[in-house]
Amino acid sequence: MQIEGKVAIVTGAGAGIGAAIAQRLVEHGAKVTVSDINGETASLTAAKLNGIHAGSAIGVGSDAAEEKALRALIERTEKALGPVDFYFANAGVGLGAGLDADESAWDTAWNVNTMAHVRAARLLVPGWVDKGEGYFFSTASAAGLLTQLGSPTYAVSKHAAVGFAEWLRVAYGDKGVRVSCLCPMGVNTALLNAGEDADEESARVAAKAVKGAGPVLEPLDVADMVIEAIGDERFLVLPHPEVLDMYRHKGSDYDRWIAGMQRYRVSLGG
């Protein structure tokens, strides 16, 4: 699919990877709804994008995990910009450290990191099938292919996000619906950086694990790879190429990989 002239929704786009993806989309000629749970940051990001191309963006405060809010978000986008061609399920949370993560943390992680994708797809994919074209772009994580030391909620919900994106591609990829899944390791965002100063040891271990596993990329560099992947209609998008090697090692000898991850956890103080 071409980006120029298309309409996109990007969730979690008030800052970080989402804001960077929205910027690159606008620079490539798309119109974008910047959605974020924080309406103020969504509006600020949209204003910045309109400084690049006037009339290219609107900012909407919206909860990406709530179906009613998603319906309203899609309707507002259609009225302001036109039918939705691209949906970037980018909103994510890192709540819940260790086995003591409570039910609230599990519920939030599951709803935001996984079910938000499912609910958006339910609303958009049937219409895309009817018109023969649409693009669903899932932001998961390398944790969805490997694991996340310190955070079971993040590891499990991101595995599920990868699984859903894969299923969606298999089920609808031959019906005009493109699907890609972004799985980065460390990216210079508030979500990653907050872990270093967390009170819970498990959260600090999680942040150290990510930063120690490979380079920490800037959001705009990741967004460049997203744009490239759209051009290729590539399913798995790995800004850190070493993740593929890790994934292959995991699949070739699961027990050895787990033993190695245990040693890595101990080396980080976990």
| Per-residue pLDDT tens digits for 187-221 | 888 776 666 666 666 667 777 777 777 788 999 99
Share of the chain above pLDDT 90, in %: 83
Write down the domain spans for the chain.
7-267
**Closest-CA residue to 87 (of 177, 183, 191):** 177
What architecture is the 7-267 domain classified under in CATH? 3-Layer(aba) Sandwich (3.40)
Mean pLDDT of 33-50: 98
Question: Which range has the worst mean pLDDT, 13-27, 36-50, 90-104?
Answer: 90-104
- What 3-state class would DSSP assign to 236? strand
197: DSSP letter: T
**Closest-CA residue to 67 (of 114, 120, 105):** 120
Share of the chain above pLDDT 70, in %: 94
**Closest-CA residue to 133 (of 12, 202, 233, 62):** 233
246: Cβ contacts below 8 Å, ≥ 6 apart: 142, 145, 146
The one-letter code for the residue type at 217 is L
DSSP states of 166-218:
HHHHHHHGGGTEEEEEE--S-BSSHHHHHHHT-SSHHHHHHHHHHHHHSPPBP
d(CA 261, CA 244): 16
pLDDT at 189: 81
**pLDDT(74) > 90:** yes
Tokens standing for 126? 């049937």
pLDDT tens-digit series, residues 52-68? 999 999 999 999 999 99
pLDDT at 207: 72
Strand intervals (E) in 131-203: 134-139, 177-182
Rg, the chain, Cα only: 18
Number of Cβ within a 10 Å radius of residue 120: 26
Residues 172 and 179: beta-carbon distance below 8 Å: yes
CA dihedral 99, 105, 107, 111 (to 10 degrees): -120
pLDDT at 68: 98
**Closest-CA residue to 71 (of 136, 34, 120):** 120
pLDDT tens-digit series, residues 131-165? 999 999 999 999 999 999 989 999 999 999 999 99
Mean pLDDT of 97-117: 95
Mean pLDDT of 102-126: 98
Backbone angles phi, psi at 240, to 5 degrees: -105, 100
pLDDT band per the 50, 70, 90 thresholds, residue 229: very high
pLDDT at 123: 98
Residues 237 and 225: beta-carbon distance below 8 Å: yes
